[in-house]
Amino acid sequence: MANIPKSYPAFSDWEKNLLTHVQAHLTEFAIQQAVLTPLLALQTEFETAYARSLDPNRGPVDIAERNRARAAFEKALRAFIKAFLQYSPYVSDKDRDEMRIPIHDTTPTPVPVPTTFPEYSIDTSTPARLVVRFWDEASKQRGKPKGVHGAEIRWEEREDTPAKAEDLANSDFATRTPRTFAFTGDNQGRKVYFCLRWENNTGEKGPWGAIVHAIVP
């Protein structure tokens, strides 16, 4: 969105430059005069009130009217810029630069492949439940790194220790911590192995964390 100047002199200079440029390029920008007319009326109200506020004999009413006129004008300008200038294919970056509005970046920010892995704890305080809580090993905070969609969880009930995460038969995915695994009474006392890794928003996966196990309570 436009970085609108805060001071009144700078704002006045900025909006005049912007609307003058737009008026000179209405056809090129595919903007109807009827769209611009209400803005020009608000501009006149603001400039009139602003000039009155500069009079040495101004009073509180003049300042209040200047502030009101600017608020209404600025709100309309923001909506106009967003609708007709900021993202319009008819408006070039050169034009945006001349109108002093930010150039919209159309290049998506690349999402990095995760380089860290989840650390996790397994809560066994509830019968027939294993609650996996995970966090990033780099930050030591409960949650996901930036750009990460969630954690892939490989798990399996088995007696022998798997050599690698891919040896675990079951796969689950958690977008937030914790993840609860429910078992039946028949599983109580059995070993369940887990291993986690991060996956980013484009499906690229990071390294696996450690393989750990817990006993179903």
Give one DSSP letter per residue of 131-198, joined into a string: EEEEEETTT-SBS--TTEEEEEEEEEE-SSPPSSGGGSSEEEEESSS-EEEE--GGGTT-EEEEEEEE
Q: pTM of this prediction?
A: 0.53
The residue among 128, 185, 180 whose CA lies nearest residue 155 is 180
Higher pLDDT, 140 or 15: 15
The mean pLDDT of the chain is: 92
State residue 61's pLDDT score: 96
Under a CB-based contact definition with an 8 Å cutoff, are residues 205 and 197 in contact?
yes
State residue 5's pLDDT score: 93
Question: In whole angstroms, what is the distance from residue 13 CA to residue 182 CA?
Answer: 66
Residues 23-52 have pLDDT tens digits of 999 999 999 999 999 999 999 999 999 999
- pLDDT higher than 70, residue 114: yes
Confidence band, pLDDT 50/70/90 cuts, at residue 1: low
Question: In whole angstroms, what is the distance from residue 34 CA to residue 20 CA?
Answer: 16
- pLDDT higher than 90, residue 147: no
Confidence band, pLDDT 50/70/90 cuts, at residue 7: very high
State residue 186's pLDDT score: 87
- pLDDT higher than 90, residue 59: yes
Under a CB-based contact definition with an 8 Å cutoff, are residues 22 and 31 in contact?
yes
Q: Spell out the residues 6+ positions from residue 55 whose beta carbon is closer than 8 angstroms to its own.
A: 62
- pLDDT higher than 90, residue 191: yes
Higher pLDDT, 142 or 125: 125
- pLDDT higher than 60, residue 107: yes
State residue 146's pLDDT score: 82
User: What is the residue extent of each domain of the chain?
Assistant: 8-99, 118-215
State residue 108's pLDDT score: 67
- pLDDT higher than 90, residue 144: no
User: 118-215 has which fold?
Assistant: Immunoglobulin-like (2.60.40)
